[in-house]
Structure 1
Amino acid sequence: MATTVRAALSVLMLIGFYVLALAIVVGLGVLSVMAFQRGSSGVAGAKLGFFAIAVAIALVVALWQVARAKSEPVKGLRLSPQQAPELWHMVRELAAVAQTRMPDEIILIPIVNAAVSEDTKLLGLIGGRRRLYIGVPLLQAMSVAQLRSVLAHELGHYSGRHTQLGAIAYRGRAAILATVGQLSGNVVGWVLKQYAKLYLLVAAAVNRRQELEADELSVQVAGRAVAQHTLRELPVIEAAWNFYEGRYIDPGWEAGYAPTPADFFGGFSGLLRARTDELAELRREPPPAEQSKWDSHPSIAARVLAMDRMQDTFVPADTRYATDLVPMFDRAAEAVAAMTVQFDGRTQLPWEQFTAVAVLVQEQRNADLVYRAAARLTGGGEAGLGTVFQLVHEGRLGELAAEFFPDATRREAAQRFVAPMTLLLRVAAVRSNVAYWRHSWTERAELVRNDGRPLDLRPLAELAVSPQTLGEAASQLAALGVDVRAAVQVDRVATAHGGDIIGGLANVSVNGKPHDVLILDNGLIMQSCPKSTDGGKDRLIAWGRSAPVSELAAKSWFLPYEEIATARLVKNTPIRVDLTLHDGRTVAVHEAWTGDRLARDSDDALRAAITPYLPENAGAR
């Protein structure tokens, strides 16, 4: 009952937001009329009148945008009762316990989540079609008992009538944010922004209370131990899925390849079975306890603690895999991947081939970084392993290596060049078709000969970095069938592939013009921005989330760190650096006092990135 009252309060506050906005418009209109009546020139009245009209238009535009916006339907595979009779039976049973109406649809979705929705009318007074969404990765990672706990929680949102005001709350939140965005930069926008913050705080508090209410049904139908264990398991599954995407899918994905629809989710099952020790270690960590006042969910730790105060029941735990509830699950997961994953023309390969190609692409990009440095050093347009061997033969490897080990003398850098040389030899072996990268779910891919035997090229790399033993290395490579001529540069220009965003600066002066700058671990992405400093951080966040960094870099000005010859730190705070590139161009990146940052330490990220190119470090080369 208390939660229902709080939810009603949040709706009233939503209405109050527009009552306040309307009152401001009317007030400005009255003031403008009074100014016309009392003033001699009418200038003040005209200004107030124009301002009132501008505010009114902004309100109408925001409301119109939200009213026209249609939420994208969640893509997924609809499971009929005939396709998954045991799953539907479980949901019916849980709905009966929750004393709520059944979902009309059960839909498999491609993410680590479960959720419910309801199409309502008349501000939630009339219920509508209900949908239950279940993530494929949850089914793969959970037992039947754990899934039962999760679904009970979701159906608890129905029984608590949490979904009935969900649509209006969602649209209301969007309308408020759109209105504040339209009116940013003036006193009216500031007033409405403060009200919006209060509304969002109340709405978040209501949502958190609703989550705890829904947890009560989980404990009731699954038992406290299972419900608490399931909550602790959620961040473990999410971490496993993120690792799976980052380690196994993303490298090939960026290069234009993808696992087949059958392998897309099938690979996650393989990883879960192979990495049981790592998953067990994750489970030993305490549940996440961080929570912000803006969060819509209590922390996992807070929810687990709250369950200690809920009445426990004994329920025998069904330890079967949750996938047993969906006959022919593999085909269903394949269908979900085919329907929801944006393959966008990528070449689809089974895991063995996908991994082999993906690792080669990664290794080639790293090799190209060395080859571009060699090309700059020799004055050629392109380079390859033969170019590097020639530098070794001439005793000039230290000049090349110094670019990668700026803290060392040239002699020391040449000795430390074994790791980069090993990389170049690995690429040469694969390009010569004498080796390939073998897929593994338990460790990183391994370089093996065509007969499956491991191939360790580090000993040959140790020979290849010295002029005295380079000939011996070349002979052994030839005996293996490695053609030095096959190892050549592919990309003449560096890209942002494989880069991660480590910071961002908004409204930075780049060569005297305002730019937003995303700081990657392999370069800077810069794009022109408005002179106004309002909303800089939000702009950086939206920009960074809009596409993979490789696509962002391709559409903007990308400055890879490898193009920097020297750097000068002009000022620490706000950070201002002058960069001189290998081709003689200069780039001045000067942060303003009023500029926004993606994170507080974004200036430290930029400072660390240019440190190797400062004069005190360049002197060691």
Structure 2
Amino acid sequence: MTAGVRALLSVLMLIGFYILALVELAAALAFAVWLASVAPAAVAVKLSAPLFIAIVGGVGWAMWQAIRAKNEPMPGVVLAPDQAPQLWAEVRRLAEGVGTRAPDELRIVPEVNAAVSEHAKLLGLIPGRRYLYIGLPLLQAMTVDQMRAVLAHELGHYSGAHTRLGAVAYRGRIAIAGAVSRIGTWNVAGWPFRLYARLYLLVDSAASRRQELEADAAAVRLAGKQAAVAALTEVTVVDLAYDFYLGRYVAPGAELGLLPDDVFAGFGDLLAAREEELAGLRERAAEQEQGSVWDTHPPLPVRIAAINALPEGSPSNDRRRATDLIPYLPQVSGRLHQLAINVNGREVLPWPQFTAATESRRLQGAADNIFREIARRLNRPMVGLAEVLDALAAGRAGELGEAFFDDVTRKEAAVKFAQPLEVLLMLAALRSERLSWRSSWTGSSTLVDADGKELDLAPVAELAVDPATLPQARARLLELGIEVAAAMAVETTATARGGDVIAGFGNVTFDGIESDLLVLDNGLIAIATKGDKDEGADRMKALVSAVPLTKLAEQHRFLPYEEFRKVTITKQVPIRAVIELHGGRTVELKESWTGDELHKGSRDVLHKVFAQFTGE
């Protein structure tokens, strides 16, 4: 199918959408006229009005959105030809190779992606300004050969006039998706629109998949089969690796109020350190991808098979790193960091300090959890390591151990208490500046002494839980220069940091106040509704998407699970429960028959949470 035919098909299907709306409007008008002739006017208006509102409101709003939609370029660092002459030379040579005009602007973007766009006019019939986007993570991971294949693929979209159809497809999706979203699920007028939307997306996705195969053929011609296959595989692998990198090395610090001074700089180091793991991912990449008729790209195995069926192209065997094509890459990475990363009040540190500060705060957080639980057992507002050792000297190891190990005898709990105690001793060693963090891209950061050796404090903890050998443990800590008083709690009350929303209920009564209740994996957030009893699920979704959970917990009532002592469920549906806290106070929860659930399984999720405190 030629580009012109695809353009015509996109336009015709978009016109067909509005023709469908006019047909439905005429049908609704005829229905209203007939109804007015056989029923009272009030009844006719009441029955026909929802149809008019659904059709006129939904489609009219969608048309307005489509008209107003702007095809803005993706944000990124613009590289002028004199700033990256080698990269621009490759782009221009490849553009000539596929028989198309080179892009007018090249931008480095933060995503694991490469893309092109063209701000064409008159429904894509008149060429416009062209943009080429290259993801920095791809540049960090790929060889020059592989990057040539990626660039040839993207420029192949230009040669097929694929990008000139982008405005038509983009506006079509906005119009149809907007209309469908505005019409209720049970509104009869919406059913034809939903069917048409599925047909439109089915046709649009099929055309997009064909375009991808055509662009792959351009990559083979200019970079060879091996580079084309390797590039496709690498995109899949880098996507997985980058998600892992952000989740493992960046996100924990961000949750604790920290950020590295260049988020992208560390990714290259991780790629180099985990090459063996990445090689394994490359071998399995094609096996893990399953396709769907709704996908805009064919599955990886289909693309690889299509590439292998093509005649061999012109491989260049250039194994240099793709980053060699951009001089002053650190400066480009730093500019992209400033553009793409929202600091939002976080402390920005160089990578070594960022890693150390992150691990220190995580250790302090784990110790704070232990300190708070021990304080509850000792019936004190807060304790430090010194008070914990005093309690152990008094023979209370079993009592303290039961707070963490409730499925063993008190004698066994006393022995097991050495495990949480070791965490407190590690904190004391760190705060006494006897240990420091050694970071690793292949494993977890570890605490080491001045000689770079890991210090095993487990034997000291095992001595400390027994009153008879506690003096030996104290002597060993003194010998190591570890000050017991250095380990103290920082957060005396639990926060929602690190929590995720797992369920929610709109319009419940929580501790006597009408509220929306967010169920986290580490506590409950009750948000007073101020008498608003409608659209509870939408209200919760909007709030969670707009405000970080830690802020919500600070602004509203947060009840962490660690404060739960017992939960008594008096009614299963709707849920009626009494939550008894460690301090002896109780909180009553009453779910409403007319309330909303955040998702259909919310009630089951909350029952599972409460089961941890009911003995079920």
Q: What TM-score, normalized by structure 2, do the two folds share? A: 0.88
> Structure 1 residues 599 and 213, CA, compared in 2 at 3 Å: closer, same or farther?
farther
Match for residue 227 of structure 1? 228
Correspondence list, 1:399-438, <5 A: 399-438=399-438
Match for residue 586 of structure 2? 585
3-state SS of paired residue (1:305): helix
In 2, Cα distance between equivalents of 1:139 and 1:506:
45
- The answer to whether structure 1 residue 270 and structure 2 residue 269 are counterparts is yes
Give 1:491 deviation, angstroms: 1.4
Query: What code does the residue aligned with 2:83 have?
Result: Q
> Structure 1 residues 587 and 482, CA, compared in 2 at 3 Å: closer, same or farther?
farther
3-state SS of paired residue (2:442): coil
Tell me, yes or no, if the aligned pair for 1:519 and 1:605 is still in contact at 8 Å.
Answer: no
Query: What code does the residue aligned with 2:281 have?
Result: L
3-state SS of paired residue (2:116): strand
- The answer to whether structure 1 residue 398 and structure 2 residue 398 are counterparts is yes
3-state SS of paired residue (1:613): coil
Match for residue 203 of structure 1? 204
In 1, Cα distance between equivalents of 2:112 and 2:388:
47
3-state SS of paired residue (2:163): coil
3-state SS of paired residue (1:164): helix
3-state SS of paired residue (1:117): strand
Match for residue 246 of structure 2? 245
Match for residue 113 of structure 1? 113
Bigger shift: 297-306 or 245-254? 297-306
Tell me, yes or no, if the aligned pair for 2:7 and 2:124 is still in contact at 8 Å.
Answer: no
In 1, Cα distance between equivalents of 2:478 and 2:573:
55
Bigger shift: 56-65 or 509-518? 509-518
Match for residue 93 of structure 1? 93
Tell me, yes or no, if the aligned pair for 1:108 and 1:134 is still in contact at 8 Å.
Answer: yes
- The answer to whether structure 1 residue 216 and structure 2 residue 217 are counterparts is yes
Deviations 1:171-201 (CA, angstroms, capped at 9, x unpaired): 3222322222222252223442333233223
3-state SS of paired residue (2:491): coil
Tell me, yes or no, if the aligned pair for 1:518 and 1:540 is still in contact at 8 Å.
Answer: no
Match for residue 278 of structure 2? 279
Give 1:236 deviation, angstroms: 1.7
In 1, Cα distance between equivalents of 2:308 and 2:608:
47
> Structure 1 residues 505 and 256, CA, compared in 2 at 3 Å: closer, same or farther?
closer
In 2, Cα distance between equivalents of 1:199 and 1:571:
47
Match for residue 378 of structure 2? 378
In 2, Cα distance between equivalents of 1:31 and 1:497:
56
Bigger shift: 417-426 or 126-135? 417-426
Tell me, yes or no, if the aligned pair for 2:515 and 2:526 is still in contact at 8 Å.
Answer: no
In 2, Cα distance between equivalents of 1:332 and 1:108:
8
3-state SS of paired residue (1:165): helix
Match for residue 127 of structure 1? 127
Match for residue 138 of structure 1? 138
In 1, Cα distance between equivalents of 2:557 and 2:294:
35
Tell me, yes or no, if the aligned pair for 1:201 and 1:294 is still in contact at 8 Å.
Answer: yes
Deviations 1:24-54 (CA, angstroms, capped at 9, x unpaired): 2333233324433x24631123224533553
Give 1:92 deviation, angstroms: 1.0
Match for residue 156 of structure 1? 156
> Structure 1 residues 553 and 226, CA, compared in 2 at 3 Å: closer, same or farther?
farther
Match for residue 254 of structure 1? 255
Deviations 1:59-94 (CA, angstroms, capped at 9, x unpaired): 333433454454664221111111111111111111
In 2, Cα distance between equivalents of 1:58 and 1:195:
14
Tell me, yes or no, if the aligned pair for 2:142 and 2:321 is still in contact at 8 Å.
Answer: yes
Tell me, yes or no, if the aligned pair for 1:144 and 1:319 is still in contact at 8 Å.
Answer: yes
Tell me, yes or no, if the aligned pair for 1:447 and 1:456 is still in contact at 8 Å.
Answer: no
In 1, Cα distance between equivalents of 2:304 and 2:451:
52
Match for residue 343 of structure 2? 343
In 2, Cα distance between equivalents of 1:96 and 1:71:
26
Q: Over aligned residues, Cα RMSD in angstroms? A: 3.3
> Structure 1 residues 572 and 321, CA, compared in 2 at 3 Å: closer, same or farther?
farther
Match for residue 325 of structure 1? 325
> Structure 1 residues 464 and 361, CA, compared in 2 at 3 Å: closer, same or farther?
same
In 1, Cα distance between equivalents of 2:570 and 2:208:
48
Give 1:321 deviation, angstroms: 0.5
5+ residue gaps in structure 1? 617-621
Give 1:550 deviation, angstroms: 3.5
Match for residue 445 of structure 1? 445
In 1, Cα distance between equivalents of 2:257 and 2:174:
35
Tell me, yes or no, if the aligned pair for 1:3 and 1:210 is still in contact at 8 Å.
Answer: no
Give 1:446 deviation, angstroms: 1.5
Match for residue 619 of structure 1? none
Tell me, yes or no, if the aligned pair for 1:32 and 1:44 is still in contact at 8 Å.
Answer: no
> Structure 1 residues 447 and 81, CA, compared in 2 at 3 Å: closer, same or farther?
same
In 2, Cα distance between equivalents of 1:599 and 1:43:
37
In 2, Cα distance between equivalents of 1:65 and 1:76:
25
Deviations 1:410-442 (CA, angstroms, capped at 9, x unpaired): 333332233322211111222223322122223
Bigger shift: 399-408 or 331-340? 399-408
Give 1:109 deviation, angstroms: 0.9
Deviations 1:183-239 (CA, angstroms, capped at 9, x unpaired): 225222344233323322332222222222211111221111221122112222122
Deviations 1:522-553 (CA, angstroms, capped at 9, x unpaired): 3345657986789x6x9887766656554454
> Structure 1 residues 175 and 510, CA, compared in 2 at 3 Å: closer, same or farther?
farther
Bigger shift: 399-408 or 74-83? 399-408
In 2, Cα distance between equivalents of 1:595 and 1:527:
14
Bigger shift: 313-322 or 552-561? 552-561
In 1, Cα distance between equivalents of 2:398 and 2:315:
69
Bigger shift: 345-354 or 405-414? 405-414
Deviations 1:131-173 (CA, angstroms, capped at 9, x unpaired): 0001111111100000011111111211222211212322322
Match for residue 50 of structure 1? 49
Bigger shift: 586-595 or 470-479? 586-595
3-state SS of paired residue (1:128): strand
In 2, Cα distance between equivalents of 1:210 and 1:407:
60
In 2, Cα distance between equivalents of 1:547 and 1:3:
44
In 2, Cα distance between equivalents of 1:598 and 1:347:
36
Query: What code does the residue aligned with 2:479 have?
Result: A
In 2, Cα distance between equivalents of 1:279 and 1:592:
51
Match for residue 472 of structure 1? 472
Query: What code does the residue aligned with 2:260 have?
Result: P
In 1, Cα distance between equivalents of 2:535 and 2:405:
39
Tell me, yes or no, if the aligned pair for 1:144 and 1:320 is still in contact at 8 Å.
Answer: yes
Query: What code does the residue aligned with 2:161 have?
Result: R
In 2, Cα distance between equivalents of 1:607 and 1:40:
50
3-state SS of paired residue (1:454): coil
Give 1:518 deviation, angstroms: 5.0
3-state SS of paired residue (1:100): coil
Tell me, yes or no, if the aligned pair for 2:374 and 2:403 is still in contact at 8 Å.
Answer: no
Correspondence list, 1:515-594, <5 A: 515=516, 517-520=518-521, 522-525=522-525, 549-551=549-551, 553-554=553-554, 558-567=558-567, 579-583=579-583, 584-586=585-587, 588=589
Tell me, yes or no, if the aligned pair for 1:374 and 1:387 is still in contact at 8 Å.
Answer: no
3-state SS of paired residue (1:407): coil
Tell me, yes or no, if the aligned pair for 1:31 and 1:45 is still in contact at 8 Å.
Answer: no
Tell me, yes or no, if the aligned pair for 1:3 and 1:206 is still in contact at 8 Å.
Answer: no
3-state SS of paired residue (1:258): strand
Match for residue 74 of structure 1? 74
Query: What code does the residue aligned with 1:299 have?
Result: P
> Structure 1 residues 599 and 53, CA, compared in 2 at 3 Å: closer, same or farther?
closer
In 2, Cα distance between equivalents of 1:556 and 1:167:
44
